[in-house]
A = this chain, B = another copy of it.
Amino acid sequence: MFAPLADGKRAAGLPFGATQGSKLVVHARGLQNREPGFESRLPCLKFHTVYRTFNTERRREFVRITEDVEDAVREAGIQEGMVLVAAMHITAAVWINDDEPGLQADTLEWLDKIAPPSWKEPDGETARDLLPNAGDYRHHRGGEDNGDAHLKNLLVHHQVIVPVTDGRLDLGPWQQVFYCEFDGGRPKRLVIKVMGE
């Protein structure tokens, strides 16, 4: 059984504000002014790169970093642009979701069923079945034990791009940015790169 789906239909857009349809804000900057000094009013593209190092106490941890991303945007001094937030490791991730402890516990329990660690007992029959057929991750032949963390990195994804509008992160009311550690207890880096004007 499956629910019927709209195939290719465009949604009946409900107004968010008072008017029907989408809300439009244009931030195009022209170069019409040719009087002396005009060049100081030219668009000035800025790049600002911040590195953060995490060394979590626990092996797995969700660390809220919305404020770090906001700081980077403020330091860059841009009004319009985008911020890339990317884990520089392959056993961590960056996630935008609710800052709600219950949800985070649900998510980690679920991730351990879908991408099961081999350093603890499988959590149920599905987790047991999703472990490697060879008995353990092939990746562990080199002495590692973090094969599951690579799969969790794949599932959660290692990066997000946050839009910047009017100098602020253009996020929805419940969206918070998290660094997701799946193999912690050692220094691991994150890059925040701001691009805009």
Contact = CB atoms under 8 A, between A and B. Distances in A.
B29 A96 contact: no
A74 interface: no
Among A55, A63, A90, A174, the most chain B Cβ lie within 10 Å of the Cβ of A90
Nearest to A32: B40
Q: How many copies does the complex hold?
A: 3
Given A12-B55, A84-B82, A161-B159, A114 B97 contact: no
A32 B197 CA distance: 16
A44 B44 contact: no
Interface residues of A, number: 134
Given A16-B187, A99-B7, A138 B106 contact: yes
B29 A46 contact: yes
Contact of A106 (B55, B114, B137): B137
B53 A165 contact: no
A59 B164 CA distance: 30
25 contacts: A1-B123, A1-B133, A2-B105, A2-B133, A5-B101, A5-B108, A6-B62, A11-B55, A11-B56, A27-B46, A28-B47, A28-B77, A47-B165, A49-B80, A49-B170, A88-B170, A88-B172, A96-B158, A97-B153, A98-B139, A98-B150, A102-B138, A102-B140, A106-B138, A124-B129
